[in-house]
Amino acid sequence: MPEEFQMNDKKIIKAWTMFDWANSAYSLVITTAVFPIYYLAVAPDIITVGGITLADSTLYSFAISVAYILIAGMAPLLGGIADAGRKRLYFLRLFTLIGSLSCLVLFFFTDASLVWLATIAFIISTIGYAGSLIFYDAFLPVIVTKEHYDTVSARGYAQGYIGSVLLLVVILGISQSPTTFGISEGSSLPYRMGFAMVGFWWLGFGQWSLNRLPQDDRLSGSKHPFLDGYKQLRIVTREILDKVDVKRFLIAFFFYSAGVQTVIYLATIFADKELGFTSSELIITVLILQIVAIAGALFFARFSSKKGSKLAISVMILIWIFICLAAFFVHSKIAFYGIAMMVGFVLGGIQSTSRACYSKLIEGEEEHNSYFSYYDLLYYLSIVFGTFSFGAVDSLTGNLRYSILILAMFFVIAFVIFRGVRINEDV
């Protein structure tokens, strides 16, 4: 039997938020700031796949889509398995190991001949990252009571932003002044060291959480985990379909996440093509966004605690609509930096408050993993849907600015649906 633990225990809360510190380095360094630029610089401009020629940027985009489609297909069943066998921590540990070790493989991406090694390792590491979030998020309603959801969720995101920025600054320091560290100018080693550092950072700091979070109930394990997981999945699916407010929230979450995640993944492309940003300027933009996101997450946690999650999310969606409309008209780098600060302010807030809000909606349900697997499933699918829509509009119109407008439409749809969600919260 697992050891007994107390709800709202400060040590357990610290252990939970430290996992954000551990894995957010992957999100910033590998997904956003460094690896995409390095990948496009090292990979061949044109890559042949099964007789079809693809641009390097297209292959990279497809790699993201493949990773999230795969994890989206596994997410509900994994959640069911974890609930049926009480293996929440087991799967958190497994996906952490898969993701972090795959980051170490990226160290060996030295030239164009190894593009497939890098692409496959990137896909697997993304699956590890995304898969771990299912079980990490599901711990929130297990370790704290409802009145602490907002603040604890925000603390996790804030620590994630701080940790990831610290590691990124170290990597940039080495890459900008390699001779100081005995590395020759022009070498790819600083960046490849950065990828390995992400793996060690994730795996190392992750142990703090994995060794301190509530242990699994090993005696309740099943001899037929996949069968039991499928049964659990069917039960929770029926429950979600019967819960009007949970269903409405998840639909609204899908649409505004499509907008938010597309901005995260493709804002640098917009800045590059439309405004002529250099690589260094793009990295500065990402750093500004991350630093402001810390303040945003904490601000909206307090706002949500006082005024309620519903009002907080509604306000943030309206700000996102304004951001998209402003981006449509922006033509200067200074103005774009201002928009980046606004994005950072609501980025951490909407992610942490959404997680807390969903925890309130499913309060009292024992199948936290299964419920959060649906939450994360829609999160992953929203990335595919949003980035595909963005690219499709750009392809049809030849103008990225019209793609920005489609994101504004996603936020408008989300706002209308979310206003109908009823949340039982004391404010």
- Give the whole-angstrom CA distance, residue 370 versus residue 80: 5
CB 78 within 8 A of CB 131: yes
- Give the whole-angstrom CA distance, residue 225 versus residue 81: 6
The structural domains of the chain, with segments of one domain joined by +, span: 10-418
Whether pLDDT at 157 is above 50: yes
AA identity, residue 362: I
- Please give the mean pLDDT across all residues of the chain: 86
The percent of residues above 70 in pLDDT, for the chain, comes to 92
The CA-based diameter of the chain, rounded to the nearest angstrom, is 62
pLDDT class for 1, splitting at 50, 70, 90?
very low
What pLDDT shows up at residue 14? 94
The tens digit of pLDDT for each residue in 345-357 reads 998 789 888 988 9
- Give the whole-angstrom CA distance, residue 138 versus residue 346: 23
pLDDT class for 366, splitting at 50, 70, 90?
low
Helical H segments across 43-148, by residue range: 56-85, 88-105, 115-138, 140-143
pLDDT class for 226, splitting at 50, 70, 90?
low
Q: And the tokens for 223?
A: 């001899």
The tens digit of pLDDT for each residue in 96-118 reads 999 999 999 999 999 999 999 99
Which one has a higher pLDDT value, 56 or 422? Answer: 422
Whether pLDDT at 166 is above 70: yes
Q: How many residues does the chain have?
A: 427
Whether pLDDT at 179 is above 70: yes
Top-tier CATH class for 10-418: mainly alpha
Whether pLDDT at 315 is above 90: yes
Whether pLDDT at 309 is above 60: yes
Rg (CA), the chain: 21
Taking the CA atoms of residue 285, residue 276, residue 106 and residue 124 in that order, the dihedral angle to the nearest 10 degrees is 80
Whether pLDDT at 285 is above 90: no
For the segment 232-254, the average pLDDT, to the nearest whole number, is 88
User: Is the CA virtual torsion 113, 115, 120, 121 positive or negative?
Assistant: positive
CB count, 10 Å around CB of 396?
10
For the segment 268-293, the average pLDDT, to the nearest whole number, is 78
Phi/psi of residue 217, nearest 5 degrees: -85, 95
The tens digit of pLDDT for each residue in 20-34 reads 999 999 989 998 888
Q: How far is CA 354 from CA 98, 101, 214, 339, 391, in A?
A: 27, 30, 23, 22, 26
Highest mean pLDDT among 41-45, 254-258, 263-267, 337-341: 254-258
What pLDDT shows up at residue 63? 85
Residue 295 makes CB contacts below 8 A (sequence gap 6+) with 345
What pLDDT shows up at residue 298? 84
What pLDDT shows up at residue 139? 87
Nearest CA among 379, 401, 381, 380 for reference residue 390: 401
What pLDDT shows up at residue 235? 80
pTM of the model: 0.80
| DSSP secondary structure, 134-176, as one string | HHHHHTHHHHS-GGGHHHHHHHHHHHHHHHHHHHHHHHHHHHH
For the segment 313-331, the average pLDDT, to the nearest whole number, is 94
- Give the whole-angstrom CA distance, residue 301 versus residue 305: 6
- Give the whole-angstrom CA distance, residue 297 versus residue 344: 9
The tens digit of pLDDT for each residue in 119-149 reads 999 999 999 998 898 889 888 888 998 888 8
How far is residue 335 CA from its own chain's centroid? 26
Phi/psi of residue 48, nearest 5 degrees: -100, 125
- Give the whole-angstrom CA distance, residue 239 versus residue 65: 29
